[in-house]
Structure 1
Amino acid sequence: MKRRDFLKTAGSFAITLALANNLTARDRADKPNIVYMMLDEIGYFELSSMGHKILKTPNMDRLAAEGMRFTQCLAGGPVCGPTRCVLLTGKHMGHCQVRTNGGGTPITADEFTLGEMFKSAGYATGGFGKWGIGDAGTTGAPERHGFDIFYGYYHQVHAHSYYPEFLIRNGKREMLEGNTGDYHTGTTFSHYLIHNEALKFIRKNKDRPFFCYLPYTLPHGQWGMPKDDPSWLMYKDIKLGGKGQRRDCDPNMYAAMVHLADRNMGEILKLLKELGIDD
């Protein structure tokens, strides 16, 4: 996946749902629930609603059909951390504090973020996935910028593995059973945990306005996922043409991860309907 493609992608496929809560009519208009899903390194034309012939993404296709597509929107930065900094601060890349990927540079304590904006407006705030603008214990940690809970990866390089030795919950490490840090194999697939925490957050806050930020790592490499996952079983034997940009990136695994992300979106939509907050 070329970074140029990612620039074209993030604006269109960072999927935002504005969903009303079961409040008064005025509160519905003033404080809709916000679920924001960002997919990392997905190609611009790799949803079936964009014309892809092999990848099937029915849940994202539904959003495209029922909502709006911003087909000329660009991400604010060319790589992971800077893009998140632009999104969360609303600043142009030239004014952002995080402009490179590798060093783990944190935003400063006085930098105002979306989390703080929603928190000050009375929202419950949760983030699940890859933070990328401040490691645990730094001025850029999410719990210092308006998030009631953040679960996942704080440092963006840590997020390169789906089988990390640990994830972080509000600044504290939680060790993952059976993982050694190998990129491709392990016992505990981190994304399952991250997605389940997001669903718990939505259930817990169904009766109040909430901001659920989902900067998922899917389908970013390094790629590895359980071999019994339904999405992998669906795509593992399909012949896919062309060579990837990187030798360690299996196109079948990539396809499976795109499908997994779509399944996740479907689970979120189903939960919102079950809770009566999908209007």
Structure 2
Amino acid sequence: MPKTEIWPYIIAHIPPIFRGFLAISLLAMAMSTADSCLNACSVMVSHDIVGTIQNEEEIADDSQLKIAKRTTIVVGLFAMLLAFKCKDLFKLLRWALACSIPMTAAPFILAIYGFRGTSRTALIGMSTGILTIIAWNKWVDPATGMDGSFICMLANGLAMMASHYLFKQPKSAGWVGPDDTLKQIQQENARKKVERKEKIKNSWTNKKNALAKLIPRHSTMVHVGVYTTITGLLAYFTVCITNHSLYLILQLFISACCIGYPFLYDISKKIRDIPKWFVGLCWLALLAVYLPKNLIWH
């Protein structure tokens, strides 16, 4: 069947109860996103926009709740009308990107990196983003088919920077440097980094002691041996890698050493102790060379 007919065929031939479950699931996924966006929109209108416009210092909670409810109803109805009018989901997604990224992304990113501009600077940048995306969709997009949201976002940011440096700004506007708390965190991180480097450097002055500290637990060594055994046998019998039997023998030998490491350790204690630095060196070579090569090979 053509891929465009597979989904309608499934819907038409499954039992009605599963069709109902499927419809409920799709509605639940859609509404879980829709109600979050409606909630955020109503809070912004009732708390941020109306609170800034009114001269009163604080709006009563009852009034904010009423404004939020009315905003949810109005925005939800407009969203439903838009969804009924445009049934192309990809086109709706492009509209959403064209409305949000050119206007809001640049001020948001600049604010994160410490830029504090005035309302005039932000409005100039957002107006530039709106005009740029309208011009792009009218003249450039039909010729190239390329979405211009990112380029219009850059135009928004450049317009904000140009207006900030060309026009006179209050002393509070501009780039905000790190505060005392951030400076203390940076100094603490730098001190810890230096201490960590010094500790690593001092630990490797006596290489045998450093290698002895790398010895893993017996269970870890056994698990690695089981993993290498399974991957080696699967690669040999499933993919039929018959021309690399010597590598398989070497891998099985290493796997047997890892699985039998607890027994070898107990035997060596009765006969002759295996140097701890030698075990740590073998484990380091296993982690740094053998396991990555084994993963890439398979």
TM-score of the superposed pair, with normalisation by structure 2: 0.20
More strand by share: 1
- The structure number with the bigger radius of gyration is 2
**Structure having greater relative contact order (Cα 8 Å, sep ≥ 6):** 1
